[in-house]
Amino acid sequence: MRKMLLKKISLKSEKQRLLIAALKSNEASTVYAFGPKGVGKTFLNVLFGLDSVIRGVYDVFFIVTPRPDGKWYVDFLCRIANKYDCGDVVKKAIKDGKIRVLSRAINFTEEVPDAILFIDDVHLFPLPEVMDIFWVYNGRIKLAMAADFTFESNANSIGWILRRVLHNESSTVIVDFGFDDIVDPVIKQNLRVTMEMVMRSRVLSEDEQKVQNIAYCYAPDTDIITVLSLKKIKESLEIEKVPDALIVVKEGFLGRLIGKEGRRIGLIEKEAGMSLRAIEFTLNFGRIIRALHPYPWIEKHINKIDVVGGLVTVRIDYKDYQRFAGKDLKYLRFLNEAFRALLGLGLKVEYKRAEKTKRKRKRQK
C-alpha cells in the first residue's frame, strides 16, 4: 500500500485536523469548509482527494471549479503531486479518468457510486447549479465543498446560504475556520487591508458625515477610515456611558486626531455636540470593544476574540459574562448592532462555567 499523502504533511491548526477527520468519516456524507482565504481549505480537500484515489479508497475524484479553464486546476494538482513525490501517479490517474476537473457544476452529470466530489469556491457558483448537485448527489457520494468567508452576509451570498441550510443536518459536518486559523502570512497581512476597504466603502449618514467633516477641520493631517454613529442604537436600548459616535482612523494617525492633551478631539466633540471615542484600526477587535463598551476595562477579562462563521466570537469566563453582556443583554446587543453596522459582522459570546471542586470534609475524631 502506498504511503498516505496526508502523512507527509503537518496539520497546522485544530480546524485543519477537524476537516481531515470529517473527510475520512463514513458518517459525514457532506463536508463544508467555510472561512477566510489562507486557512488550507482547498489544499486539504485536494490532498485528501488525491490520496483517496491513489490508495483506492474512492474510484474517482471529481473537482468542480468556477474557473472557466480547468487546465489551471490540473496544473495545480500536478504541482501538489510533484511536491510530494507522486507526480507520475497523479498524471496517470488524470489520464485514466480517475481524477477529473470540471469547469462548472452543471457539467457534473456522472453516475459513479464510489466517488468523492469536491466543489471548490462554491460561493462563486450560481445557486441553481449547486441546488442541482444537491438534489441528485447529496447522500449518494462523498460531497466536499469549500467557500471563502466574505463580508457580504446577505441572503444572496451562496456561501452564507449553504452554511445556514447545512447547519444541524445530521450527515453534514461544517468546519468553520476563523481568522486565527490563517496560515498564509501574506493573506494574514492583507486581511487588515480588506477590512479597511469594507469600512471605507460604508455610506455615511448625515451625522457620521458631519463628525468626519468637523474632525478634518481640526485634524486635517489625520486619516479617517470611517465614522460610526451610535445614537440610534444607544437610544433604542437606553444605554448610558457609551459614545454617540466612534471614529476609526488608520494605524499611526490616532495621535493626530486626539491632539496634544486631547485638545483636538475636545474641540471636535464640542462643535459636533456629541460624545466621541476614537480608535486605530488593527486586527485586535478588543480595541473596538474597549471603545464601545460602557466599561472599557472589560477588555482585560476577554480570553480570546476571533471571527468564526461570520461572527466576532468573544470567549470569556462565566463569572465575567454578566458584566460583559449587561442587564437584559443590553451591552451585548449594543455591541452586536455596532459590529454589524461597522463591518457586517455579528457578535456572540462563549463562556465556560468554572468546574466545581468538591471540598473534602474533615473527619471528626
Q: Which pLDDT does position 175 carry in this prediction? A: 95
Residues of the chain within CATH 3.30.300.20 domain(s) are 186-352
The string of DSSP codes covering 273-330 is TS-EEEEE--S-HHHHHHHHSSSGGGGGGEEEEEEETTEEEEEEEHHHHHHHH-GGGH
pLDDT in tens, 242-265: 999 999 999 999 999 999 999 999
Q: Rounded distance, CA 292 to CA 296, Å?
A: 8
Determine the residue type at 105. Answer: A
**CATH class, 5-183 region:** alpha beta
Cβ–Cβ under 8 Å, residues 311 and 345: yes
- From 292, 283, 356, select the one nearest 326 (Cα to Cα): 292
Q: Which pLDDT does position 362 carry in this prediction? A: 47
Q: Rounded distance, CA 167 to CA 130, Å?
A: 16
pLDDT in tens, 280-329: 999 899 999 999 999 999 999 999 999 988 889 999 999 999 999 999 99
Give every CB contact of residue 120 below 8 A, 6+ residues apart in sequence.
Answer: 42, 45, 63, 64, 65, 66, 73, 145, 146
Q: How confident is the model at residue 10 (pLDDT cuts 50, 70, 90)?
A: confident
Q: Which pLDDT does position 132 carry in this prediction? A: 82
Q: How confident is the model at residue 153 (pLDDT cuts 50, 70, 90)?
A: low
Q: How confident is the model at residue 107 (pLDDT cuts 50, 70, 90)?
A: low
Residues of the chain within CATH 3.40.50.300 domain(s) are 5-183
pLDDT in tens, 52-65: 999 999 999 999 98
pLDDT at 113 over 90: no
Cβ–Cβ under 8 Å, residues 248 and 254: no
Superfamily of domain 186-352: K homology (KH) domain (3.30.300.20)
Phi then psi for residue 265, to 5 deg, are -65, -30
